[in-house]
Structure formats: structure tokens, C-alpha cells
Amino acid sequence: DHSEYVHRVGRTARLGQQGRALLFLQPSERGYLELLQGAGVSLDELKFASVQQALCGRNATSRDVYMTELALQKQLEATVATEPLLHGLAAGAYQSFLRAYSAHSKAEKRVLHVSQLHLGHLAKSFALQETPSLISRQQAKRRQVAPSAAAKRRKPSHLHQLAAYSGGGKAKGGGGKQGSGAGGAQRALKEQRSTADGAAQRRREAHNAVSEFSAALD
């Protein structure tokens, strides 16, 4: 419902301050602007060419622009693909978007109809590399697995069991195996830290790319 969007835009202005919101529309959705204008929303169109210039420079060629956009898209996709939490959030947001799109009122479906969506392009906008059909299957499988997730969390992980073994309990065969257990735990922790450091670096790179894009919008 566009009235809900108008309400959310209004919430960007707090304590007498001005607020603003950024709305991305596909060519088939331009009719939505008429609904917003009818609700009293003041709109200023931002040409994407100005964003391209801010990212690539005024003298950039069409190939420069294409390569910059491609690099940004690939960087975001790589980050989402290697971060299970981000991937789950992106896939869930994609599915929620489709459900919300299908629930528009009759008046809004004239300009916001799910049949007009290119699902592959939509998935790309959430930085997802998978096809729409694969995303749907993954989400269905995730919902089936969800009930048992809490039970799995209650079980101690192999790493915790190994740490407990190396730190306290009696090990069969004396101190030799106990020391081996401690070394294994240390190696596992080191590998875990290395993985976490790599993930943090990818997040920083993606965050920097998005920050540059956001700065170009200002």
C-alpha cells in the first residue's frame, strides 16, 4: 500500500528536521510516482547518469562505466556468497519482496504487477548469484531445517568438546594424547580466526564499495 510508504517517508523527518528517502523504480513502475504525488509526496528525479559520473568521472567512457558497475556488482555478490548470514538475509529479503509485490491492492497492481518483474534481475539486485528457482528451493529447504536448528545449538560443538578434552578431563593413554588434543584445539581456533579475518576483510571491501555508491547519490 503506497500509504504505508508515505508514512515511512514521513518518519525520516524527526524533531522538526527535514528527511528524505530514496526510491528505486524500474521503467515498468513509473506509474507508481502518480500514486505518490497524489498522496502529497514531493519528488525529485535523480538521473542515474549523474551517479555514473560521480563513480567514474565526467570523462569516463561507456566501457569505463560498464566495468565499474560490473566490478561493484561482482564485489557485492562475492561478499554475499561467502557470508552465510548475509546470504540468508538477502535470499529472505528476495522472497519477502516477491510476497509483498503479489499482495498489492488492485489499484496498485495496474503499475506494480508481479508478472512484469524480471526475477533474474531482481535476484541480482539483492546481490544473489543463484537463479530464482534455486533461491526458492534453498529457502524452502531452510524452512524445513529451521525446527531442528534449536536442538543442534543445544549440542556442544566438536571444537568445544575438543577444548574440554584438552583442558580438564582424563585422557586415555596419558598426557601425550591430552597434549595432542590441546594442539588440535589451537589449530582449529587458529583456522577459525583466519576464516573470520578473511570474512571481515570481504565485509570491509563491500562496505567501502557501498559507501562510495552512497556518496555518489548525495
> CB–CB of 181/166 below 8 Å?
yes
Q: Buried (b) or exposed (e) across 149-167, using 16+ Cβ within 10 A? A: eeeeeeeeeeeeebbebbe
**What is the pLDDT at residue 56?**
85
Domain ranges of the chain: 2-11+21-151+199-217, 165-198
Q: Mind giving me the DSSP string for 147-195?
A: HHHHHHHHSPPHHHHHHHHHHTSPPTTSHHHHHHHHHHHHHHHHHHHHH
Grid coordinates representing 204 are 570491509
| pTM exceeds 0.75 | no
Task: Identify the CA nearest to 122 among candidates 80, 142, 93.
Answer: 93
For 39, the grid coordinates are 498522496
**Looking at this protein, which amino acid is placed at residue 2?**
H
pLDDT at 18: 81
- Residue pair 54/216 in contact (Cβ under 8 Å)? The answer is yes
Distance CA(50)–CA(60), nearest Å, equals 12
In order of 10, 26, 158, 204, the CA distances from 40 in angstroms are 11, 21, 59, 39
* Segments in the chain below pLDDT 50: 162, 165, 168-179
128, exposed or middle or buried, with CB in 10 Å at 0-12, 13-18, 19+? buried
Grid look-up 548525495 returns: 218
Tell me the one-letter amino acid at 66.
Y
pLDDT of residue 171: 44
pLDDT tens figures, 5-52: 888 888 888 777 888 888 888 888 888 888 888 888 888 888 878 888
pLDDT score, position 170: 46
CA–CA separation, 209 vs 204, rounded Å? 9
Cα angle 77, 129, 103 (rounded to 5 degrees) comes to 105
What pLDDT sits at residue 127?
A: 93
Residue 27 DSSP class: G
The reported pLDDT for the residue numbered 70 is: 92
- State the sign of the Cα–Cα–Cα–Cα dihedral 41, 44, 47, 48: negative
